[in-house]
């Protein structure tokens, strides 16, 4: 037996065995943490997989099929105009309004298509970090200075992190650009405005299906929330018309595929997610008809499914681990919330660093970071650590890190995570010194 080869699997087997042998299942906290992890997975499956991730998978699949590699290389590639590439990537979150997990299929899609590491990482950070509703909610609940600092910090972070990632791995990026196939700018017949509207309809479905409820019953945001499913239906109808005409699927097929969703919307109007589910099923079946399987629609579904089967298992494993360690909002895991509150008081380096690390590993759904921080500030958290958590938390999470590693490797993932933590810590120190 070659022990130089076999010592690694032996080490992991022994480690797992020791962990199982001494597993403290009789501890009430351990039992509670395990239950919390299952609760978190259940909540994640109900609130994020269907409405967030599935639309994101379809958008990522569409990028792979309907966006040419030449276009990605031209605007986001290693040799693209830096002002355009980082300008677009750093403000994408104001449009997408997604969480740290929903951005992953989109990031994987553009990175696989040839986007430069810098612009791709700027997009990866900015997608969940620059959520316009979250920034407004932050300013209203935690104060205008916190909202402004979060908005400015998130945009600056996206650009700086992207530039640093590009610099640190510049040799690999140069080799990647040299090895990329030479592609033509010619598109295959569909006008650019049709492709743009096609993507706009899917982004509209993603954004408005997940539009969060505010704490007031008045104002523009509440008005949009009250009409979110009507708006989502409008974007869905628009997508259906495009598929029927521009993609030549035919009105009859679209009506047959969409009729179960329409029926559920009429029968169960109080549960619009059921209609959404049947709409997804109809689109999937439509993509796999014998007559469409070998065309663009079949390729679209295959690419979307490829993203789903690679990303979903890692996300669910990460959510389970995060649930065991940190629990859900207002529920504890193995790490007591009192410890967290005691470690983030004041504006010391250690408080800001802990807030950055804690925020980076904890999973925050869109908008949930604000009420969580409100409770922590009430328990004595300093404003500097609060900003550090706001800048690190929404953009990263343990599930998010596992998927990023599968896309761009361990070294790049470690550097990306460390950059976010370091910059969040420094930003918190500076902000805390003034406020």
Let me know: does 413 contact 173? Beta carbons within 8 Å.
no
> pLDDT tens digit string along 250-307?
888 898 888 999 999 899 888 898 899 999 999 888 887 766 666 788 888 888 898 8
Which pLDDT score, from 0 to 100, does residue 387 have?
92
238: its two tokens: 């628009």
Average pLDDT of every residue of the chain:
83
Question: For residue range 379-431, what is the model confidence (pLDDT) as tens digits?
Answer: 678 889 999 998 998 888 888 898 999 999 999 999 999 999 999 999 999 99
Is residue 253 within 8 Å of residue 286, measured between CB atoms?
yes
What local confidence, expressed as pLDDT, does residue 180 receive?
62
* Listed ranges 95-99, 189-193, 368-372, 429-433; the one with the highest mean pLDDT: 429-433
Report pLDDT for 236: 93
Contact status, residue 192 vs residue 223, Cβ threshold 8 Å: no
Q: What is the dihedral of CA 404, 410, 416, 421, to 10 degrees?
A: 100
- Is the distance from CB of 41 to CB of 323 less than 8 angstroms? yes
Tell me the torsion sign for CA atoms 422, 423, 428, 430: positive
- Token reading at 324: 């065991």
Q: How far apart are CA 99 and CA 366, in angstroms?
A: 5
Cα separation, 210 vs 208, in Å, equals 5
Whether the per-residue pLDDT at 182 is higher than 60: the answer is: no
CA 317, CA 416: separation in Å to the nearest integer? 21
155 SS3 class:
helix
Q: What is the pTM of this model?
A: 0.77
**Cα(420)–Cα(361) distance, integer angstroms:** 12
Contact 164, 125 (CB under 8 A): no
Closest CA to 271 of 44, 42, 50: 50
pLDDT in tens, 26-83: 888 888 888 888 888 888 788 778 888 888 889 888 888 887 777 777 778 777 788 8
Q: What local confidence, expressed as pLDDT, does residue 34 receive?
A: 87
Checking if the pLDDT of 186 tops 50, the result is no
Lowest mean pLDDT among 203-217, 297-311, 327-341: 327-341
Separation between Cα atoms, residue 286 and residue 58, nearest integer Å: 13
Cα–Cα separations (whole angstroms), residue 292 to 19, 247, 297, 307, 363: 50, 10, 6, 20, 39
- Summary count for the chain: helices (H), strands (E): 23, 0
Our CA angle for 280, 285, 290, nearest 5°, is: 155
pLDDT the model gives residue 365? 67
């559920």: which residue's tokens? 264
Nearest Cα to 357, choosing from 402, 322, 389, 324? 389
pLDDT in tens, 139-166: 877 888 988 898 888 888 989 999 999 9
> What Rg value do the Cα atoms of the chain yield, rounded?
23
Cβ–Cβ under 8 Å, residues 278 and 264: yes
Per-residue pLDDT reduced to its tens digit, 344-382: 888 889 999 999 998 888 877 666 777 777 777 876 788
* Token reading at 216: 């007031």
HSE of 93, CA atoms in CB hemisphere, 13 A: 35
Question: What is residue 414's predicted lDDT score, i.e. its pLDDT?
Answer: 95
Task: Give me the pLDDT at residue 377, please.
Answer: 80
Show me where the domains of the chain are located. 40-54+68-181+309-434
More confident of the two residues 317 and 6: 317
């Amino acid at each position: 037996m070659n022990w130089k080869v076999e010592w690694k699997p032996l080490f992991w087997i022994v480690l797992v065995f020791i962990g199982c042998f001494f597993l403290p299942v009789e501890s009430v906290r351990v039992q509670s943490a395990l239950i919390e992890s299952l609760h978190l997975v259940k909540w994640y499956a109900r609130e994020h997989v269907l409405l967030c991730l599935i639309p994101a998978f379809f958008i990522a699949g569409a990028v792979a099929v309907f966006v040419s590699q030449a276009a990605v290389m031209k605007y986001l590639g290693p040799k693209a105009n830096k002002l355009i590439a980082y300008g677009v990537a750093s403000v994408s979150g104001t449009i997408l309004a997604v969480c740290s997990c929903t951005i992953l299929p989109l990031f994987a899609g553009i990175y696989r298509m040839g986007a430069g590491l810098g612009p791709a990482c700027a997009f990866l950070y900015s997608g969940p970090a620059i959520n316009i509703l979250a920034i407004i909610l932050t300013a209203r609940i935690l104060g205008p200075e916190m909202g402004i600092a979060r908005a400015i910090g998130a945009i600056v972070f996206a650009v700086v992190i992207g530039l640093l990632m590009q610099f640190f791995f510049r040799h690999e990026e140069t080799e990647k650009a040299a090895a990329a196939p030479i592609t033509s700018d010619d598109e295959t017949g569909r006008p650019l405005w049709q492709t743009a509207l096609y993507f706009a309809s899917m982004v509209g479905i993603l954004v408005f299906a997940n539009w969060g409820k505010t704490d007031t019953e008045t104002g523009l945001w509440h008005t949009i929330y009250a009409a979110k499913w009507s708006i989502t239906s409008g974007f869905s109808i628009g997508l259906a018309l495009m598929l029927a005409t521009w993609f030549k699927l035919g009105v009859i097929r679209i009506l047959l595929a969409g009729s179960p969703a329409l029926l559920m919307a009429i029968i169960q109007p109080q549960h619009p997610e059921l209609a959404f589910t049947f709409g997804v099923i109809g689109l999937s079946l439509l993509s796999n008809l014998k007559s469409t399987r070998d065309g663009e629609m079949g390729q679209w579904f295959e690419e979307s499914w490829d993203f789903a089967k690679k990303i979903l298992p890692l996300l669910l494993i990460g959510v389970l681990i995060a649930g065991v360690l940190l629990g859900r909002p207002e529920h504890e895991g193995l790490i007591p919330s009192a410890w967290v509150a005691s470690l983030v008081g004041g504006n010391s380096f250690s408080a800001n660093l802990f807030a950055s690390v804690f925020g980076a590993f904890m999973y925050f759904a869109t908008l949930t970071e604000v009420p969580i921080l409100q409770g922590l500030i009430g328990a004595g958290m300093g404003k500097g650590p609060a900003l550090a958590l706001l800048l690190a938390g929404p953009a990263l999470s343990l599930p998010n890190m596992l998927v990023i590693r599968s896309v761009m490797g361990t070294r790049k993932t470690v550097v990306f995570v460390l950059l976010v933590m370091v910059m969040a810590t420094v930003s918190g120190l500076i902000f805390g010194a003034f406020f």
